A = this chain, B = another copy of it.
């Protein structure tokens, strides 16, 4: 079987670079030496392992993509660009018959889904590519739907730690609060305890030095009213490897869906997890 050709857009940037590195290492995938990038990028090429990838500016992308498609045939795009580029990129992929895996967050998400639905292409749209994290969120959603109020009377404490640059509260933690609310525990999003101080993260939380600049740690603690029952759920992610791995899985899933002639379909990470 020929490897699936993949173009990773957004380079040079942390997450897209990491995803590209995993794609290069996957024998079923082939990274093509081109990448769409933003107007602010001055470099004209970047290296992914041994490969030199040519960076394509927005103004030349239409012309370039036609010659790339001519040379490569079917190409799946991976998008780790910028929230402001999400909708324009999705339109570009759809108009040019490029199925895509969208890992970029932000933009107009409703419009994003509609753009794909109206098109002839299929896409995986996943603001969180961390398969195990997504699975745990799905477990919580299942519980909230199936057993409302089962934790009624319990107290909740939520704490999360992320690299100093992250200004906002963890989106995952906020989503989890919604589930805990439905499970019977009143809790406001501003009660989440955020930690952004690297010194505290290292000394009190035990975040390894090398991951102070990139981690997402979350702990949810539940205590019954009479203090006799205690639950605790923790998910600690260091670096971005989990997301790069999930991206690779999403590409394989999308390729399979394309083989099955999926058109105008949006898949989520839950679909990728289910594998159906």
Task: Name 9 A/B residue pairs within 8 A (Cβ), A-sorted.
Answer: A130-B229, A139-B139, A147-B274, A227-B238, A228-B238, A228-B239, A229-B238, A229-B241, A231-B234
The closest CB in chain B to the CB of A230 belongs to B236
Residues of A that sit less than 8 Å from B by CB = 130-132, 135-136, 138-140, 142-143, 146-147, 150-151, 154, 211, 224, 226-239, 241-242, 273-274
Closest 4 CB pairs of A and B: A232-B234, A230-B236, A228-B238, A139-B139
Q: Specify which chain B residues have a CB less than 8 angstroms from the CB of A232 in the assembled complex.
A: 232-234
Q: Specify which chain B residues have a CB less than 8 angstroms from the CB of A239 in the assembled complex.
A: 228
What is the copy number of this chain in the assembly? 2
Alpha-carbon gap, A185 to B170, bound state (A): 28
Pairwise interchain contact A231-B235, C-beta atoms closer than 8 A: yes
Q: Specify which chain B residues have a CB less than 8 angstroms from the CB of A238 in the assembled complex.
A: 227-229
The closest CB in chain B to the CB of A233 belongs to B233
Pairwise interchain contact A242-B230, C-beta atoms closer than 8 A: no
Alpha-carbon gap, A224 to B274, bound state (A): 20
Pairwise interchain contact A231-B136, C-beta atoms closer than 8 A: yes
Q: Specify which chain B residues have a CB less than 8 angstroms from the CB of A227 in the assembled complex.
A: 238
A106 to nearest B CB, angstroms? 24
Name which of A135, A138, A228, A274 has the most chain B CB atoms within 10 A of its CB.
A228
